Structure 1
């Protein structure tokens, strides 16, 4: 018995020691042998600024009222709130003491110089695909193109023991593919550029790919039909970016996708929710060549016929007659509150006010996006520094839960739309969860 206990103790020591080594080890970096101070040319800093735009760093590491990159943005997680950190080159509260290797480990592996693991709200599972050159350019921008700001980081709202971060080392080992993007020789240069931007810096999968119970993205590239197939996140449903006819981009041309990313709108839709921040801070600043590469790549992703067994068509969309509308719950509310902008036929106003007839948000099973935008309105779409003149106003104070449920059910069952009905209790839940007075992270989160 004594010998058995000694053997068991030895096993525990060996396994425990191995686990401790595994958890505490820092990932290697190709910049480990680089000089502590690397000269940065103006061209390299400028290129790094574009990489920062592609990665939309400012959206998460700033708040509407703060200086750029000082952190403080509250983000909700199933465990509690966390706050984005200061990534200015301030030496006391920011990343001013980071070497290039330190920066690389934080961006592509989620590990800070002290060995602290970052929550994957920092999309390092996507950034790990970025090239060494892009990471070096990004570092040059943050160290030389961003003003340092002394602002302390806020502690997370996650309590003990769930705030222990060592399990993230195991999570990374299971769910993160720690390799940079590798070009597919069977695809052309434009396709590979688009794939690199979507999967890497653009981290599109962070919102548009469904997650498992472990909160990992279920797919990381086009080899899985789940990649970019749509996902519910923080009170918004990020729709499919695949060629799904009803719920994705199946009715969009490459030019439509390009115009949406370049201008924030096209004949099918106008950016809203979290995508507004992505447009305002990121996609409109990217080069036309990169936006066309993204469009080309997304157009190549096949849809799933099971999601669109009965494709929506404008020829099958029929308006309810005035007499019939009056007898339909929500129809009168739509006529009074919505039809002036979106039209009695739900077709909107060209590219300025989006259609509701045939919109992906009207055809998907999830109702969150439409409930959220009806309750809270949409943010201004800002192009070249100029806010647009049209936006969805909030109806939180004007309409009851039942009225919002009725009008959205009407929208989702008219003009050929076949979305699920909206329940008053669903509206109530989201109303409470997105109350601006509580500074809820859903309202504040920008990606």
Structure 2
């Protein structure tokens, strides 16, 4: 067997594999002899079928199969030994008048080679690293939410703004009859809310569903209608009041603080605001880091220009899926995936050159930390080392989980690398301003 390579240019090459009869004949003969021993052909005793008949019936199929196996093994070994960094897979070149009846064969493959480049981490302008914080409005809203959650309902006789009314929605024609407790503030529109004001227990109010709630999906819970019917629902419904309650907010005192955070962890409203701000910052960190990853990705692609074997990749895309694509479809697919491929090459080079690979001991420690966090959410603050090891072993025996955790850990390693090696500019913003700036 002989393998040679012709470099067309820096990104394309042709590999030629020559296979001689002596490369495959021994293996083919052995397989055919085994076939002969086990063949059941009418008129012949098992093991006594003439070899000529076995070759005639099975010879071509065995030959093709063994040559293809030999070809793939040789090609893979060659790419490994030559340390060729290829994109996609080798594409066999079509050969006119190919004849399996000959004894020696030649096969040619097109290769798309990965470009050679150095990653430039210098950017024209510093990349913004957002530090997302809870603004005063968000903090006050969270305090109000806490006070409502731990407050109590006080029974009333007459409905006023801010009350919670319990009752039954009805529409006989539509088959609607549903009991529900409804905060008046959830009703969208002043005119609709005013129909409830001044009403008493036992009163029945008739209202139209159009624009009753800001989101029509709310009707799925309030009226128990299906998803499709909820959209644009425009009917009249009656609401018979069975109970009126006023939401009495909980006092911001030490008893509430201890209930929320543990004894003496928070001692004042100012401490509470600071605690809410700290907790919010932890929650927002994931969004901040993801945005940094997005922005760094764009900057690295923009900052590192190199050529790709475009024509080869489009041909490869045509054949790689379950269903072959047309040239035009492959071209569209390539254009959609080109930026992702460029970043994949940049990221891969950074990982290799800076030893950022995920090792098993790192993955186990990472998985254990995630397990601790989840257990803490359910009140298990001090799990034993054996318990953690057992759970981690079960998690890491699942290949899907291993892949998911490995990707998360690699993202963390890359984030740390970017924060240390790319010029960043920290910008503190409230969550509301962050959303406006990113999704403007």
Q: TM-score band (shorter)? A: under 0.3
Q: Which has the higher contact order (CA 8 A, sep 6+)?
A: 2
Which of the pair is proportionally richer in helix? Answer: 2
Which of the pair is proportionally richer in strand? Answer: 2
Task: Compute the TM-score of the two structures, normalised by the length of structure 1.
Answer: 0.16
Task: Compute the TM-score of the two structures, normalised by the length of structure 2.
Answer: 0.16
Larger Rg: 2
